[in-house]
Amino acid sequence: MPVTDTIGARIRYWRICRGGMSQAVLAGLAGVSQSYISQVESGRKTIDRRSTLVDIAAALQVTVADLLGQGSEPGDPARDSAAAYVPAIWSALIEIEEGERRQPARTPQELAADIARSDQLRTSSDYPTMARLLPDLLIESAARGGATLARVAYQASTCLRHLGWRHLALNAARVSASAAEACGDAAWIGAARFAYAQSLPIESASLAARTADRSLAELQADADDTRVRQMLGQLHLSAALTSTVSGRPDVARDHLAEAAREAATLGDPSDGSGFNGCGFGPTNVGLWEMSIAAELGEYGRVIELSRTVQPQVLIASNRRQAYWLELGRALAGSGRRDGEALAAFVRAERAAPVPFALNPLARDAVVAMVRRAQRRGVPDDLRVLAARVNLTVRP
């Protein structure tokens, strides 16, 4: 099984590049144990906390993206198929930011249908197919401007972020924000600010939290709009997670409580989607709460929360995947529950195959399970799952 593209292998590579830094020195700089670094490098243990990734990357003087290999390493069919369209998306974003506008080639009805198609692909997490549509959609929507451009640029930001091109996702989020601000649509302003916060690198968690805080204050005046209230809820959730990553659990709890209060009054969206597919409501709050508990290393809490969350009420496949992925990681981390963890990972992959395969943390979790299982024989289900994320398990 080739594991040269795991997080642990990259950590070892950069450690050696830093003058042959020892595992003990790296562990001391990152605030973890030497045995932890050893197990991560060998693939026997995964890194479950974003804050730990930040600390290790800082100790190695690299970015978290360098450790994750996001947007830089070929080999995954989904990312490779999308890569051909990324230069055209980038070019379109530059053209829009420079203020250039072309004459539209589509009728408003044709453009609306194509935007709806892109949204359907976002809902199903088919980001490679979505990437093919985005260059033309960006140019066409720029000719219309306003909420139309804000919506398509938001789609582009989401697509690019999930494919690993966060720097371009930030560009797209800025385009979305400028378009929304130009037309004064508070709901789309909130959506664009949320996209921006989501696209920031993990190292900028404190900036992401501050961005959400500023947006929350600015949008309060329009809180009588249900769409705006949904985005206020999403911004509270974003601030809760990023505050947790940046070591401010008290602030995180306040944001999570505000999101829960807003969700209780709104309920889950009747169509399973809500404004801009954000799915804000009690179910989505529960999913983010699971992620926050995982970031705190509270595996028991993640498992407990999972019993109260019903992800099937949301139509976005990546939200259902998030549920099963967080549960699987918690089960694997809680010890001696690899069988249950495998069942959860299988369901996560089935819910959204592309983002699961592209998620370095999910991939590393599969590698770690294979490593542990090889001593007693790798189950067929695990072999199949490994193949789905482009890992070959030797007999």
Listed residues 199, 227, 243: the one ending a domain: 199
What's the pLDDT at 184?
95
Q: Which one of 199, 222, 253 terminates a domain? A: 199
Among 26, 42, 68, give the residue marking a domain's end: 68
Q: How many CB atoms lie within 10 A of CB 308?
A: 11
* pLDDT tens digits, one per residue of 36-51: 999 999 888 888 899 9
161-211 pLDDT tens trace: 999 899 999 999 999 999 999 999 999 999 999 999 999 999 999 999 999
Instruction: Pick 289 or 355 by higher pLDDT.
Output: 289
Domain assignment present for 139: yes
* Residue 134 and residue 170 in one domain: yes
The answer to whether position 145 is within a domain reads yes
CA distance 35 to 149: 50
Least Cα distance to 322 among 369, 362, 295, 282 occurs for 362
In a domain, 351, yes or no: no
Phi, psi of 43 (to 5 degrees): 85, 5
- CATH number, residue 39: 1.10.260.40
Q: Are residues 137 and 193 in the same domain?
A: yes
Task: Give, as one character, the DSSP assignment of residue 377.
Answer: -
- Identify whether 90 is part of a domain: yes
Reported confidence tier of residue 72, pLDDT bands at 50, 70, 90: low
Residue 3 pLDDT level (bands cut at 50, 70, 90): very low
> For the chain, what is the mean pLDDT?
91
Give, to the nearest 10 degrees, the angle between helix 226-245 and helix 50-60: 50
Identify whether the C-beta of residue 177 lies closer than 8 Å to the C-beta of residue 138: no
- Please report whether residue 189 resides in a domain: yes
Residues 63 and 82 in one domain: no
**98 and 181: one domain?**
yes
In a shared domain, residues 81 and 58:
no
Task: For residue 246, give the DSSP letter.
Answer: T
CA of 146: how far to CAs of 189, 219, 225, in Å? Answer: 11, 18, 18
Instruction: Tell me the pTM.
Output: 0.92
pLDDT-based confidence at residue 394 (cuts at 50, 70, 90): low
For residue 167, being part of any structural domain is answered with yes
* 213's tokens: 């805080």
Are residues 119 and 189 both part of a single domain?
Answer: yes
Q: Say how many domains are in the chain.
A: 2
Q: Which of 275, 231, 324, 352 is nearest to 119 (CA)?
A: 275
Supply the range of the domain harboring residue 37: 7-68
The span from the CA of 81 to the CA of 78, in Å, is 5
Q: Do 334 and 302 contact (CB within 8 A), yes or no?
A: no
Task: Please report the pLDDT score of residue 75 as a whole number.
Answer: 60
Mark whether 51 and 145 lie in a shared domain.
no
Q: How is residue 44 annotated by DSSP?
A: S
Are residues 11 and 125 part of one domain?
Answer: no
DSSP at 112: H
Do residues 36 and 99 both lie within one domain? Answer: no
Average pLDDT, stretch 206-220?
93
Q: With pLDDT > 90 as the criterion, what percentage of the chain qualifies?
A: 76
Q: Are residues 175 and 147 in the same domain?
A: yes
Indicate whether 56 belongs to any domain. yes
